[in-house]
Structure 1
């Protein structure tokens, strides 16, 4: 009797004994389990009654659940159901206890990760406690990261991605909630808060972005979740999703509990002046100032678009059309900043995937005015959306509107330069959008007295000298363009492409290198060339499809390696055709037909081409060899940076070089304070100032402060009065020479 009473009243002691010998204390555990069931029934109807005792029982059973798996099989579902169905009526301590015990059950492998995450995901949008929300978020991320630590857990990833898809799809059919003039919708009291405000979708996007940023997820399904968030009717969900593709994560949207503001530098220095002067305080202040300056520099750094995510978009044409439809339909509900975000994402997708949304150019024309707010960003988005497959007839009105609004004598030089730069970037991607007479007028601005306008007009002139010199006047074409036109070279019309390559450039260099290795006795490993280049697949069915497949055919198949067998005369067609289409087949390498080139082979080929170009320049190859070397170095740098094929157009590229604006008083003071950082306090080292040993003032300092009546009869003053003209001239000349020396 004494033992039973002691164990019933002391749950930690019973927990310790059960972990040591579960079989001996099974009856005591069943007694506590029955007591838990009775308390749970009471707790469901009255959560405030015996809440503390209920939390103790839940913690006790969670600790020993792995010892009695059959008896506690339904215990995790009890906790999950209580959290999901009665979350609003539970006290904060009870909520935290239930969540912590669910996580404990997962750590003890009583429940799986999928069961835990199904319970935690809905709580993110329901909880109002920042500490509990942060705990749930970290638990979700750490659990998924641990599951994918050694190898990709495709089963868990697919299940979690399905949950996130469901969270984003909850409010897709709702009405768009705009952010113009802080509009609010009337939400009925019985409506679901998470559905109307998009909290569930917001958390789904946040978690997907975090898993992508940490490198846990890098597949197309995670990109599809965020792409679906770009089409969500709630603006804050759109904003967070769009920032993922643009590469500029907005931390204010991601988490409210992780906001971090920069400290006030003036307040830190003022506090240091009034506090006690110590060396440790000075070091602490300097450390804080350095951290603030680093954070400011990081905030000013331009963001780079998320090119891998853009390349993994599924059906980019449909995605672009839906983005444009949402922006066009909700034009009056959305603010200008949000519409510019959509324009930037739409233009990146159109430029990266060569998709065409012709209505976008009609829509953007109403924003093409020099007095429009944030017009450089709009011009950059416009130029980014153009590519070689964009129809020129759609861009002709846009070019006319730009020239009419930005390039005329009634505006400033900065406006003219921005307009010409925007026209140049559009025409760089689609040269046939320009008209001959308009091009002649724009090129004349190269004679302007303003440097930004001159640079912009010269850039446009140089562009058309390269892409289509026939549109320029004869005196404006330049030497190289005129020689090329005389030789018969012409720009390709819209929709035409150059002759496809017949061979890989520089492949003979790779063949010679492999032959040299073979002569030295070194053999290249074919399989090693594919190391670290394979892409993990999310599909489990790919392993089943390995091997050969039997293909049945109803008739005979005519298989031949070349069409030359059908037409013997076609062998000599390439030799008989003249002009630029003629190819010397004897120079083609045999590696194309004898070896499968691996990614490592292509990387080696690029290095060999770069080495050959460097040797050609050193041997005096001339300007052509230097241009070839510069092109190869630029391509290598471009490949290492992982940038997209087309460079991102920034606002600075549209504005062009411009004069530095005159700083105001606050900027001048800030510049002065910045220059004084890390420098000793300004002052003379003479006399008592800044000396190791204190001393009195010098005789020269004392002479400056003497009364005038004491020095009127001095020899120095009387000598000045009696000095001759010659002496005065010599003294003035010496003063001028000393001033010149100090100035230089």
Structure 2
């Protein structure tokens, strides 16, 4: 009986007994429950001595009075209740999220962060859980957290402007907003949240008064280190020390592959996120506010933080073709070859330029780069960086160059430095393509004037080939129904966004035209009418046959892919029939376009890297990963690497002993050794003892 009482006093043991026989241990359970309620009531009176209360309200109301062990236990209990379905995800996240900025334990903070991300991920695994994402624990909660504290409670707009963006150091406001942006960023990277509300949360964080929120940087968070995978150097050292087994070797190989895969994932994550830029609401206002914030607090922001804002501004402006003219006046003061992070600044400048950027705003910038970077008083690497940055800017806006300046830049192609020569030739080749008239002794076509666009396309090239192909398929398959089914199948896995509802589709603004008048419709050319006094039909103005397929059928992505193949086949036949150089060039262009068909952005929409600005350089010093890769390549084809000294003529292979190694030591090392110095300082008595011991050992060896 005494042992039974001890067992029931142990809560885990009591839980086990209740699972086996609930009815038999009802009284013991009620006893423990009454004890819990009594302790909870005492805690309400004196929370410093007791810490038993309802987990959610206890954590939110008395978090500072709890010991670290109690906090961890309560959080674990909440997670257990969520796993068993006692509480919902919304209730769990509403409790855990406010704890992130309040906890000082890195272990508990990492556990809370991992729990929040995994719970939202599991809820959106099969399909989007809109109830969770848009409820208090989802977008609505985090949208409010990011918005909360932008000026701080009770602060006026004038006070916030006077004190600056870094004045609000409130841990409650700044840290909550920072965690809202950080977790939103993680959910976006994992593909869990990828809608406009997610982008709006991050966009709000860009204008938060706390710099840490703007950069979404958690200084005390170490959970991102897990993304790099295991420490390979530490694992290899353990492998050398411990006993060698096949299982250990397989485990090490698996961890190597995991680390390599995560390094690639980290590298790809640093690339520009096009969907985030596409979903940005009102990008022009966003870019203007970003520039105002950058210009207003220029002296208070650090260089790294200003560079982050400039990179974001340039990518938004370049992608959406926005004009923030003050940005080019602002960035001029950072265009100096002694400026820190100048390659990244030049990249930012080039990314912000597009075909609609006014050339007048870029002329001072180009002239400043030429004066600071391209002259004989600086190193060749500086000249190459200046030429490459000018080339990238002019590639997007060719009218930003002056003819006399272009002649001076092109003359650097005669330099003895390879990087400078390559950069100058790049500028020369660019203007040979876009505006040869600016080059000396060159004539050719000029680019379109600023603000002008190419003429509208009359027809899709090669569409008649697709029309003939579809007609042939229709005859072979024997009916239009099969073709309609094939068209429906071709649209599978292709998403299309529509702003119109089903009700709006019924009421259209199409004008009904009598079919009898179709033959009277002609396409006229004004110059031809003035010259000949009559209209010109389509068949007379176009040399090849114009297809009507685009006006009678909605082309699917599969149709465009088939059109590309048919154009390549037609060009191939033209080359085989002796079409000449022009036909070969057309075939090469079609094949190149087919390979890059998946890249939707054009040349001016692609972003620039620092390698594009710096250009070809001398071989840089290899980092640790490159050195290890080179060593592994050198070890290929060898049974076992290492020294073979002392292993060749022995039955049991082994390395040389320390005495054998000592024989080959340099004399200067031996003279300064402790043994030699000890012999010199030995007394007469010590020398006699050593001599007597040597004689005794010799006698024993002789007998």
**Normalising by the residue count of structure 1, what TM-score does the alignment of the two structures yield?**
0.72
- Deviation of 1:640 after TM superposition, in Å, equals 3.4
The reply on whether 1:514 has 2:470 as its aligned counterpart is yes
- Deviation of 1:350 after TM superposition, in Å, equals 1.0
The reply on whether 1:224 has 2:200 as its aligned counterpart is yes
Q: Deviations over 1:652-702 (max 9, x none)?
A: 1112223336x69999999996775565557789xx76467699xxxxxxx
Aligned match for 1:318, one of 253, 275, 285: 285
The reply on whether 1:157 has 2:109 as its aligned counterpart is no
Moved more, 514-523 or 429-438: 514-523
Q: How does 1:430-469 map to 2 (within 5 A)?
A: 430-469=397-436
- The answer to whether the Cα contact below 8 Å between 1:421 and 1:456 also exists between their aligned partners in 2 is yes
The reply on whether 1:427 has 2:383 as its aligned counterpart is no
Moved more, 630-639 or 339-348: 630-639
Q: Deviations over 1:222-257 (max 9, x none)?
A: 12212222222333332238xxxxxxxx99867377
The reply on whether 1:348 has 2:324 as its aligned counterpart is no
Moved more, 135-144 or 626-635: 626-635
Structure 1 match to 2:89: 113
Aligned match for 1:660, one of 612, 619, 643: 619
- Structure 1 residues without counterparts, runs of 5 or longer: 56-77, 178-182, 242-249, 696-704, 706-744
- Deviation of 1:590 after TM superposition, in Å, equals 2.1
Separation (CA, whole Å) in 2 of partners of 1:221 and 1:644: 28
Q: Deviations over 1:725-744 (max 9, x none)?
A: xxxxxxxxxxxxxxxxxxxx
Q: Deviations over 1:77-114 (max 9, x none)?
A: x4322211111112223323332333333334333322
- Structure 2 residues without counterparts, runs of 5 or longer: 153-158, 654-663, 665-703
Say how many residue pairs are matched.
626
Structure 2 match to 1:504: 460
Separation (CA, whole Å) in 1 of partners of 2:469 and 2:41: 80
Aligned match for 2:215, one of 236, 239, 242: 239
Separation (CA, whole Å) in 1 of partners of 2:558 and 2:254: 47
The reply on whether 1:402 has 2:405 as its aligned counterpart is no
- Deviation of 1:33 after TM superposition, in Å, equals 5.7
SS of residue paired to 1:520: helix
Separation (CA, whole Å) in 2 of partners of 1:339 and 1:170: 23
- Deviation of 1:428 after TM superposition, in Å, equals 0.8
Separation (CA, whole Å) in 2 of partners of 1:512 and 1:219: 42
Structure 2 match to 1:576: 528
SS of residue paired to 1:528: helix
Structure 2 match to 1:338: 305
Separation (CA, whole Å) in 1 of partners of 2:25 and 2:641: 76
- The answer to whether the Cα contact below 8 Å between 2:490 and 2:556 also exists between their aligned partners in 1 is yes
Moved more, 13-22 or 344-353: 13-22
Q: Are the structure 2 counterparts of residues 141 and 587 from structure 1 closer, same or farther at C-alpha, using a change threshold of 3 Å?
A: same
Q: Are the structure 2 counterparts of residues 666 and 434 from structure 1 closer, same or farther at C-alpha, using a change threshold of 3 Å?
A: same
- Deviation of 1:263 after TM superposition, in Å, equals 5.4
Separation (CA, whole Å) in 2 of partners of 1:633 and 1:589: 23
Q: Deviations over 1:148-203 (max 9, x none)?
A: 222222222112011111121223225999xxxxx99696xxxx5232xx222222
Q: Deviations over 1:494-528 (max 9, x none)?
A: 00111011222332232223223222217232322
Separation (CA, whole Å) in 1 of partners of 2:8 and 2:642: 77
Q: How does 1:272-671 map to 2 (within 5 A)?
A: 294=260, 298=264, 303-474=270-441, 477=442, 482=443, 485=444, 489-521=445-477, 523-524=482-483, 525=485, 526-534=487-495, 545-547=501-503, 559=511, 571-573=523-525, 576=528, 584=542, 587-617=545-575, 621-640=579-598, 646-660=605-619
Q: Are the structure 2 counterparts of residues 136 and 466 from structure 1 closer, same or farther at C-alpha, using a change threshold of 3 Å?
A: same
- The answer to whether the Cα contact below 8 Å between 1:307 and 1:644 also exists between their aligned partners in 2 is no
Separation (CA, whole Å) in 1 of partners of 2:497 and 2:72: 38
Separation (CA, whole Å) in 1 of partners of 2:626 and 2:591: 41
Separation (CA, whole Å) in 2 of partners of 1:81 and 1:510: 68
- Deviation of 1:45 after TM superposition, in Å, equals 2.7
Q: Are the structure 2 counterparts of residues 263 and 357 from structure 1 closer, same or farther at C-alpha, using a change threshold of 3 Å?
A: same
Q: Are the structure 2 counterparts of residues 674 and 149 from structure 1 closer, same or farther at C-alpha, using a change threshold of 3 Å?
A: closer
Separation (CA, whole Å) in 1 of partners of 2:650 and 2:199: 66
- Deviation of 1:401 after TM superposition, in Å, equals 0.8
Separation (CA, whole Å) in 2 of partners of 1:424 and 1:637: 26
- The answer to whether the Cα contact below 8 Å between 2:143 and 2:201 also exists between their aligned partners in 1 is yes
- Backbone CA RMSD of aligned residues: 4.8
Q: Are the structure 2 counterparts of residues 642 and 549 from structure 1 closer, same or farther at C-alpha, using a change threshold of 3 Å?
A: closer
Separation (CA, whole Å) in 2 of partners of 1:83 and 1:389: 55
Structure 2 match to 1:45: 45
- The answer to whether the Cα contact below 8 Å between 2:354 and 2:397 also exists between their aligned partners in 1 is yes
Structure 2 match to 1:136: 112
- The answer to whether the Cα contact below 8 Å between 1:574 and 1:583 also exists between their aligned partners in 2 is no
Q: Are the structure 2 counterparts of residues 600 and 121 from structure 1 closer, same or farther at C-alpha, using a change threshold of 3 Å?
A: farther
Q: Are the structure 2 counterparts of residues 129 and 496 from structure 1 closer, same or farther at C-alpha, using a change threshold of 3 Å?
A: same
- Deviation of 1:460 after TM superposition, in Å, equals 1.5
